Structure 1
C-alpha cells in the first residue's frame, strides 16, 4: 500500500445522488479559490454533477477525466469528475440505481487513495438503507473503508472535529442501555491511544491533551451514581498516563464543554454517541467534519447526512463539505511532510 501524497488531488465520492452531496461538491468547487481548498476531483457522474450545479445556479464547468493524474490540470477551470456512468437525477427521491452509483463511487475513490493515486478520501453522504438494497453489508462507510484498508472496525476510530471542539465517541451507533456493557478499560485505552497518535501525526499536536468523560452524572460521584467511572474508565486513564499520554479523567461531562474548559484539552474522549455529538453539533453545526482515525489513509466526511428533504432546493449549506476537504488536505500534507 502506498502512502497518499499531498501532491495528488483529493478524491471525493459523490454520495447518494438524490441527496445534497452532489450540489455541495459543486458549491465547494465554486468556493475553492476563496476558501483556499486543495485540488480535488469527484468520483461519480458528470451528468448528475452538471444538473446539481444548474439547480444551485452555479455557472461552472464539469469536466470528465479518465485518470486522477488529469485532475490538477483541469481543476482551476472546471470540476474534474471521474465519470462512472449516467444515472437519473431526482433530488429527494433515492432509488437503487443511485445507491449503486454511490457504492461504486465509494469503492473507486477508496481504491484510488489506497493505491496512492489520490491524496486523501472525502466521502459524500449516503443512505445506508438504500445501499443495503444493492448489496452493501457494512454498518456504514467507515467500516467499509477500514476493511478496504485492512484495519479492523474496532480500530477505525470516529472523531468529529470543528473549529471549537474535537470529540471521539468510544461507543457509537448502539442503544443507550447497551453502552455500560460495551465499555471496557481496554476499549477506552485502545481508541484513546489511536486518537492521540492521530493528533500527533495528522494534526501536528506534539503532546495531545485528552479529556476523558465519565459515563454517569458527576462521573459517578464516588460510586453514588454508578460504578463504571471508577471501575472501568479510571483504569483506562491510568493506562494512558502510563504510556506517557496526557490524559485526565473521568471528568463530569456536564462541565467539559464550556469555553474555558475546552481550552484545557485537544480532544474530548466521550463514552457514547450523544455525549460527543450534541456539544459539537451545538458549537460547530455547519463546519463539523467526521474523521476516521487509525487508517493508513486520510479519510474525512462532512458531518451531516443526505438531507433528502432539502436536496435540490439550493438551501443546503456547503460549510461542512468545505471543511472536510480542507481538513483532508491539511492532514494529507502533514503525513507527506
Structure 2
C-alpha cells in the first residue's frame, strides 16, 4: 500500500467557509485512502460544521498529539485548540477572536510540521483584517510561514491541474511590483520553480518566464526591464542547466502553458499570475447562478515544510449555510499528498 502521509489541515477563520468545506472534503472516502488528515482547530466548530452540511454521522475524535489520530473514514481527527467562545461567535463577521483562532491554527500546524510530527500542511482561508485586529500584522499565510520557518527566499505557486504559476512579487502595489522586478529575485524564483516542480515528480521542468511589459518590452520600445533584469536572470539559469524560456509576452504565455509547452510559468506580479489561474479554475454557471467549480491550489515554495492551500477567500457572505464548494480544498490536500510522497521517495 502506498505511503499515507499525515497532513495537518487548518480550519481557517471560523466565521468563514473553512470548517464546512473541511467537513465536506473529509466526508469523501477516497481522501482517507491516500492520506491521514488531521484538522487543526476548534472541535466545537467542526461538530457544528458537520450538522450544517447534514453529516451528523461524522464522528469528531479530539486529540492533542498527531500520534493519537485514528485516520479512518467516518472519523474526523481534530487537534483540538479551545479557541472559540460560541456565545460570542457569529458567521460572516470580522472579529479579533476569530482572527486569533485562525492565526493560532496556522502557528500550530507550522510547529507540528517543523517538529516532523506531520508530513505536510494544508490551509483554509483566513481573513487578513481579522488577524490584524488580533494583533498579528501579516499580509497573508505566505508571510506567516516565511517568518515561523525562518525562510528568506520563497514564492507563491498557484496551480490548476497542470497549469502552474509562481510569482516574483505578490501582495504589494502595482507600482512597487514593477520596482521589484530585479535580476536576483527573478533568478531566485526560477530556481524555486524548478525545485517545486521536482518536488511534484517532474524530472526536468520546463519553465516559461513572462515579460513585465506588453510584448515583453518589444526590444526596449515599451520598457527596459526585460533587457536589464529578466533576460540576464534567464541566461544565468540556463547556464546552470535549467530548462528556461523567455521572456514570453504575457498575453500569449498562458495559452502556451495550457497547451503543454511549459510545466510552470514565472509571473512578474500578483494579478499577472492570479487572473489566468482563476479564469480557468473558477467556473460560474450563469444559467443556474451558482459556482460549478472553485478550483485551484496555492502552494508556498522554498519552505522547509510542505504548505498547500485553497485558492479562495473566506466567503463570509455565504458562511454557515452549507453551500461552500470544497473542490479547492480537495485539490490542496492532493497537492500536499503528492509532495509528501515524492519527498519520501527522494
TM-score with structure 1 length normalisation? 0.93
Partner of 1:167: 165
Q: Residues 73-152 of structure 1 correspond to what in structure 2 (within 5 A)?
A: 73-85=70-82, 86-88=84-86, 89-152=89-152
CA contact (8 A) 1:189 1:237 kept: yes
Is 2:308 the partner of 1:300? yes
Q: Contact 2:167–2:189 (CA<8 Å) still a contact in 1?
A: no
**Aligned position for 1:226:** 223
Kindly indicate whether the alpha-carbon contact (under 8 Å) linking 1:10 and 1:41 is maintained by their aligned counterparts in 2: yes
The alpha carbon displacement at 1:191 in A equals 1.3
Aligned pair partner of 1:255 in 252, 255, 260: 252
Distance 1:249 1:9 in 2: 38
State whether residues 122 and 308 of structure 2, in contact with CA within 8 Å, keep that contact through their aligned partners in structure 1.
yes
Which residue, out of 172, 178, 181, partners 1:180? 178
Q: How many residues align?
A: 328
Give the corresponding residue for 1:329. 337
**Greater strand share, structure number:** 2
Provide the rounded CA distance (Å) in 2 between the counterparts of 1:263 and 1:35. Answer: 31
TM-score (norm 2): 0.91
Alpha-carbon displacement from aligned partner over 1:168-224 (angstroms, at most 9, x marks no partner): 111111111222211101110011111101211x11111111100111111111111
Deviation readout 1:111-149 (Å, 9 max, x if unpaired): 011101111011111111111122212222111112211
The whole-number CA distance in structure 1 between the counterparts of 2:175 and 2:138 is 23
Aligned CA RMSD, in angstroms, stands at: 1.6
Structure 2: stretches of 5+ with no match in the other structure? 283-293
**Contact residue 139 and residue 171 of structure 2 kept, 8 A:** no
| Counterparts of 1:109 and 1:50, CA distance in 2 | 20
CA distance in 2 between counterparts of 1:37 and 1:139 reads: 33
**1:157 maps to which of 142, 145, 155:** 155
2:194 to 183, 193, 196: 196
- How far does residue 34 in structure 1 lie from its aligned partner after superposition? 6.7
Q: Which has the higher contact order (CA 8 A, sep 6+)?
A: 1
Supply the distance in 2 between the matched residues of 1:255 and 1:100 (Cα, whole angstroms).
42
Name structure 1 gaps, 5 residues minimum. 1-5
